[in-house]
Amino acid sequence: MPNARSCCRSLTWLGCLIVLVVLGAPGAASAQGFGARAGVSADPDQFYFGAHFETPPLVDRLTFRPNLELGVGDSLTLVTINFEFAYKIPIPRQSWTVYVGGGPAAVIQKHDQAHGGDTDVLGGLNFLLGIEERHGLMFEVKAGVIDSPGFKFGVGYTWR
C-alpha cells in the first residue's frame, strides 16, 4: 500500500502535468489568467490562501479553473488541489458574471504534533457558486463533501 509521501509525489506530478496541458491550450489571452485567493473555512475552522489558473472557455461558457489552497488552523494544515470547472452566466448590462461549478479535490491533511503529527491523503468533492467582475475581482462560496472542507468563503483576483 503506498504511503502518504509517495501519494504526495504522484499528486505533485499530476498537478504539474495538468498545468502544462492547460498552459499549452490555445485560446484568447484575455479569456485566461492566473489568480490569487484567500478566505475562511468551516469544518475545519481555518484561514486559507492559494492560487488558481483559469482556461479559456472549453465549450460555450465552461472554463477549467484548477487551484491550490493552503489552509491553516484547527490543529492541522490542509493542502487542497482542486480540479474545478466553472460555468459562467453573464448578467445583462453589467460588468459582473455569476458562475456555478465544482469538481474533485485531493486533500492532504497534516495534523500538528499534539494531535499525532499524521499526514493523510484524502479525496473530496467541491460545489461552488461565485460572482466575478470583468477586470478580475471575485467572491466565491464552496461547499465540500467527502473529505473536502465543509464550507469556504473566499475573495480573489484573476489577472487576465
63-76 pLDDT, tens digit per residue, is 999 999 999 999 99
Single-letter amino acid code for the residue at 106? A
Which candidate, 88, 104, 91, 99, places its Cα nearest to that of 144?
104
Residue 12 has pLDDT above 70, yes or no: no
List all residues 6 or more positions away from 65 whose beta carbon is below 8 Å from its beta carbon.
Answer: 52, 53, 54, 55, 84, 85, 86, 101
Model pTM above 0.75: yes
Structural domain including 8 reads 4-24+55-159
Q: What is the mean pLDDT of residues 116-136?
A: 94
**143 vs 75: CA distance, rounded Å:** 21
What's the structural domain count of the chain?
A: 1
15-47 pLDDT, tens digit per residue, is 544 544 444 444 444 468 999 999 999 999 999
